[in-house]
Amino acid sequence: MWLAATEHQEKKFMQQMQQIKTLSPAAYEWLNEFPLEKWTMYKDGGRRWGAMTTNVSESYNGLLKKARGLPVTAMVRMTFKALVDRFVERNNLAIALLQSENVHKVTAKGKKYSCGKWRNYHMPCSHAIKFCGLRGIEPKSYVSKFYSAKYDKRTYSETFNQVGDEMYWPPASFNLIANTEYLRTSGTQGRSRLKNDMDIAPARMTGKCSVCKETGHTKARCPSRF
């Protein structure tokens, strides 16, 4: 479903939907119950805006997850390598698109082309950049003004009002009912974060072991006992 929803062209969207129909006819029928404008990119009319409506920090947080718990030097090196690999991957993808045999129609005046990404992301893709190179046009002139630092700062320039105490809230005309389908079950939830020195309680860090007189562990966990 995710692959079908993120396609920019109707042809590729229909191919993904056909695969879904082959794997699960029930899922195919269920998806067709919803308007395409609600969940597909090629029909959303340019409302997605790419990174403007997604949490980019969380994306990089997942990308750099393996760096947690490492020494500072190793963390910096791994972070640098991950970012370089990311840019190289994106650059190679752009080169591959420019050298591909796929033909797309670019309309510079209306900022449209058959690829569909310009309409969805509001910035030129590799096809439009190639067109700009042939016409001697600066590609950044076709990037939406809302990607500029000026508008980015304006987004966070307003005051965030705090929510008052619950006793001052006006009475609600509805009742909230918990969806039991998504309630957590009993038991310990697994965590993927790697623990480091920050997770050790201060009392354990200052208390000394009665055997070796060192801090950071107790008598039961003393390395000299093993």
Per-residue pLDDT at 173? 87
Q: What is the residue type of 179?
A: N
How many Å apart are CA 20 and CA 2, to the nearest integer? 11
How many Å apart are CA 223 and CA 226, to the nearest integer? 6
Q: What is the pLDDT along the chain (226 residues), one digit of tens a residue?
A: 667 888 877 888 888 888 888 888 888 898 888 888 888 888 877 777 776 776 666 666 776 777 777 788 888 888 888 888 877 776 666 565 555 556 667 776 666 666 777 777 788 777 777 777 777 888 888 888 888 889 888 888 888 888 888 888 888 888 888 777 766 666 666 666 666 555 655 555 566 777 777 776 777 777 776 6
Per-residue pLDDT at 192? 62
How many Å apart are CA 139 and CA 136, to the nearest integer? 9
> Would the CA dihedral through 148, 150, 152, 154 be positive or negative?
negative
> What does 164-176 look like in DSSP terms, one character per residue?
--GGGSPPPSS--
Using CB atoms within 10 Å of the CB of residue 183, give its burial: 0 to 12 exposed, 13 to 18 middle, 19+ buried: exposed
Per-residue pLDDT at 221? 76
The pTM for the full model equals 0.47
How many Å apart are CA 215 and CA 218, to the nearest integer? 8
Per-residue pLDDT at 112? 63
User: For 208, which DSSP code?
Assistant: B
